[in-house]
Structure 1
């Protein structure tokens, strides 16, 4: 008897959850940390704040009666935001703030990768180029713009790598992050040293984790230092996790045609396929990123829930505790009757446009525009962005038989229903569960030998869901809204590019 501990390092804070051996949730604790935005398009966090939040949350959770009664910690598994890059000295101490996933400062460096696709076939697994979010373009930017920091840096790693180091004292990387975010060759088990050299960072390899292991592998035992901080015994296996949204596939239940849509601050849309598919609209197919028998494909929105937060909290001054009132007001606004059209690309577009220089927009404003109308238009923009990704999956031949929604969208009924109406198809919404933490339980169980592998764990730990259906009349209206959304994106793209380039040149 014992418990499985899951650590979820998100954009706004760390959440730690505990599960019994049969997958019953024992509770979770969240602790926030701050994000700074020092320049337009930049976003940074303090890695030490991540660890402090994880320790506080874990210690609080493990002290509860439910966790004490469950027994010792049998395994620890983690998942974090991807492409959040920590720059550290030889002892793992930060040399500068971590560059957050949504940070788009490395767009010029990412653009260079497109010109190297013919020389480096590994780029075919990312659709022919890297995104500005990813570790490799950010590393190139760091070496070019902060050479002194680069020279001092012993490690340039993903957030998941940093967390694993704090838990085990070992530099072990997740194969998922390595394949998806710094072009590791999952078929050969090798770093693309030639690609790194052509981008001027041949010395990046020595700054990455010493060992890359598949999801579900044991990175090492929980150290005495980490265990003392958590208030538990040392020695439990620390199992290699991965990207928060990507591992969510493991907690959607066993299915060959499932697409996981994790919508919170951003939205990640993830699926696995048996054979690679060629597309330049989505990321992947990544070999052996999650399950070593599958290829993983990835799409998403850089900003989704964060757009709604901007509209409600930043622009309208609505406190988060009063958000339900605004959502109710916006729910009473008729679709197609407010005259507004918005774009959700506040920090660029992840897919299908793959353009870091796009920005947000709202057109149709009048002096009579209400806050409810503006909020509804923002929700509709985010829903249109989601449709763009799902459509790109289907164009690439990815089976989208089951769509499973989770994350912050689960708390916003308007966001859920508008998305379903824009898509025009049924979706399943996870009912009161955190799929990332549940996936960590699956991963921990596999690493501890409680299940035979990730597939058995996925089947055993499936969550409860409820089904939402679209309204045919609203879907008919939203077909025009989506067409207008695409047209506005095309019309404004040259202006947005010019504006971003002028700011970058200052």
Structure 2
């Protein structure tokens, strides 16, 4: 269903232009959106990285240069006087150290930098009670706190006078405001910030030897941090005095852009891997530690999990194929074969943790189209299992389900996913982190995030499954679950829960 709202019907409180800034791994992006969600302008600039084994670094200065250029381009054809607010997202777990003036002292250690394996063990021993209370139980080497401990162990900048930890977006908000402002709790999560008590866990930090002076003040996402200063206005084209709103990590930003914000609503992002982000009225704790929660701008929690499986199997196994033609042939055959679509060579991490997991196929795949369909159906089965696992944990899963990411561009795959899962799915017109940040920025007018999303997130289409086809795929799903259990990767209690839900 197309959204026919026009700018003339924007709620008065949302009138104006809202900016969403996004710092990814490969690019920095700025979008300008009006109060109905209409995209007015967008621009991006490339970012470069340096990888060396498990290490992954970026020069933090290029973030500011790239974002400033993207903002100038996006605003060049607009009446900048109508800009009212902005928010920014970044990659989760990316950190650096800066001096008292905001000048970077270290390269940025990126979200997937894995150098801090030894430090992760130390962090998990010191903070085990806190991490258990917060529901994720343990930190991975790529999380921010182990990397901070690595910098303390290996980089003299960590002990320099006035040194402080910055998350990726903190450098940009500092430049925009002209002085250091608070970090948002979403980016601070992987640095160990206590989302329930809303403070740093002082005992754990002291045991880890992390000086309190390194750590920033923290506020909830959606908090107005300040306004854009004159120097930043000259560099970016964003008017001086524009409200600067505390943002969120890139995954949460995409969830906001998809409008999955009511309790029980979920956004399923199908890119190289599959990521589910949802909304709950309570903190969801996972004994296995594969699901963890962000805290939303209001009273809701945002649980989520990231799989090691997903659409990356398509680019890996069907590189160079005509995917449109292959989809057409696969849809005509509609076979029952199913493949576990594991992308990573390091095993699975959601909806179960199994470092030893390997791909497998159930059923014959005599031709290319059948093999392709088995991968599509495998993603759909895994997606259903993710929702069953979340329900097993007590997370609400009965709200709207939106599909975003590159995989959502294949309409047959979207329908297959809806039918294999057995529930309607929504396809937003635009769902990206930068859009989500524009929606979050609009809350600076006094509206709730749900109100801003209702006005600004546009749903392009809703797909309803055919009950007969859902019934046809159910035995395939249960066979898939049984095989994961037989191999010892999926816990029997989770498999039993999936079967009970299937019988309902």
TM-score by length of 2: 0.79
2:459 maps to 464
Which residue of the partner structure matches residue 148 of structure 2? 139
Aligned equivalents of 1:485, 1:71: Cα separation in 2: 57
Q: Map Cα deviations across residues 141-167 of structure 1 (whole Å, 9 max, x no partner).
A: 3334x3435445923332222222232
Separation in 1 of the partners of 2:280 and 2:57?
Answer: 34
Aligned residue for 2:64?
Answer: 51
1:85-121 alpha-carbon deviations (Å, 9 max, x no partner): 2344444444444232233443454345554566x34
Q: For 1:148, which of 153, 156, 166 is the aligned residue? A: 156
Deviation for aligned residue 1:244: 2.3
CA separation of 1:158/1:370 partners in 2, compared to 1, >3 Å: closer, same or farther? farther
CA distance, structure 1, for counterparts of residue 108 and residue 132 of structure 2:
25
Which residue is 1:182 aligned to? Answer: 191
Residue 122 (structure 1) shift = 5.2
**Preserved contact between residue 259 and residue 403 of structure 1 (Cα < 8 Å):** yes
1:75 aligns with 85
Residue of structure 1 in register with 2:430 after alignment: 433
CA RMSD of aligned residues (A): 3.5
Deviations 1:375-413, CA, capped at 9 Å, x for gaps:
655555544543443222100111112212223333233
Corresponding position of 1:240 = 246
Question: After superposition, where does 1:438-453 map in structure 2 within 5 Å?
Answer: 438-447=435-444, 449=445, 451-453=446-448
**How many angstroms apart in 2 are the aligned matches of 1:268 and 1:409?**
12
Match of 2:3 in 1: none
Following the alignment from structure 2 to structure 1, what is the Cα–Cα distance between the partners of residues 239 and 456?
26
Describe the shift of the 1:340–1:167 C-alpha distance in structure 2 as closer, same or farther (beyond 3 A).
Answer: same
> 1: CA distance between counterparts of 2:227 and 2:419?
48
Q: Structure 2 unaligned segments of length 5 or more: list them.
A: 1-14, 491-504
Aligned pair partner of 2:138 in 125, 129, 133: 129
In the alignment, structure 1 residue 406 sits paired with structure 2 residue 419 = no
- How far apart are residue 75 of structure 1 and its match? 0.8
Taking the aligned partners of 1:23 and 1:268, their CA distance within structure 2 comes to 24
CA distance in 1, matches of 2:373, 2:103: 44
Aligned counterpart, 2:221:
215
Q: Secondary structure at the match of 1:202?
A: coil
TM-superposed CA distance for 1:19, in Å, is 1.2
Deviations 1:210-255 (A, max 9, x none): x212211111211223222222432211111111222444441663
8 Å CA contact 1:344, 1:381 repeated in 2: no
Are the equivalent residues in 1 in contact too, given 2:334–2:373 (CA < 8 A)?
A: no
Q: Provide closer, same or farther for how the CA distance between residues 342 and 240 of structure 1 changes in structure 2, counting only shifts above 3 A.
A: closer
Q: Could you list the runs of 5+ residues in structure 1 that have no partner in the other structure?
A: 492-506
TM-score, normalised relative to structure 1: 0.79
| Gap change, CA 1:221 and 1:122, over 3 Å in 2 | same
Asked if 1 retains the 8 angstrom alpha-carbon contact of 2:20 and 2:435, the reply is yes
- For the Cα contact (< 8 Å) 2:29–2:44, is it kept in 1? yes
Deviation at 1:11, TM superposition (A): 3.3
Establish whether residue 283 from structure 1 lines up as the match of residue 291 from structure 2. yes
Aligned pair in 2 of structure 1 residues 435, 303: CA closer, same or farther (>3 Å)? same
Q: Are positions 1:351 and 2:365 aligned together? A: no
When the two structures are aligned, how many residues end up with a matched partner?
A: 465
- Larger deviation: 272-281 or 370-379? 370-379
Moved more, 151-160 or 216-225: 151-160
Deviation track 1:343-369 (CA, whole Å, cap 9, x = no partner) reads 2334564434356xx37744579xx98
Equivalent residues of 2:308, 2:342 under 8 A apart: no
Is the 1:344–1:378 Cα contact (8 Å) retained in structure 2?
Answer: no
Matched-pair contact (CA < 8 Å) for 1:311–1:374? no
2:279 is paired with a residue whose SS is strand
- The answer to whether residue 102 in structure 2 is matched with residue 102 in structure 1 is no
Distance 1:334 1:253, change over 3 A: closer
Q: CA shift at 1:134, angstroms?
A: 1.8
Aligned-pair CA distance for 1:126: 3.1
Give runs of aligned pairs for residues 219-298 of structure 1, distance below 5 A.
219-251=225-257, 252=259, 255-281=262-288, 282-285=290-293, 289-298=295-304
Query: Is 1:438–1:461's contact at 8 Å kept on the other side of the alignment?
Result: no
Contact 2:260 / 2:402 at 8 angstroms: preserved in 1? no
Query: Do the aligned partners of 2:167 and 2:187 also contact (CA within 8 Å) in 1?
Result: yes
Residue in structure 1 matched with residue 46 of structure 2 by the alignment? 32
Shift of the alpha carbon at 1:416?
Answer: 3.0
| Distance in structure 2 (CA, Å) of the matches to 1:63 and 1:46 | 27
Do the aligned residues in 2 keep the contact of 1:155 with 1:207 (CA within 8 Å)?
A: yes
Q: Is the 8 A contact 1:19 1:25 kept in 2?
A: yes
Counterpart contact for 1:167–1:222, Cα < 8 Å: yes
Q: Is the 8 A contact 1:131 1:350 kept in 2?
A: no
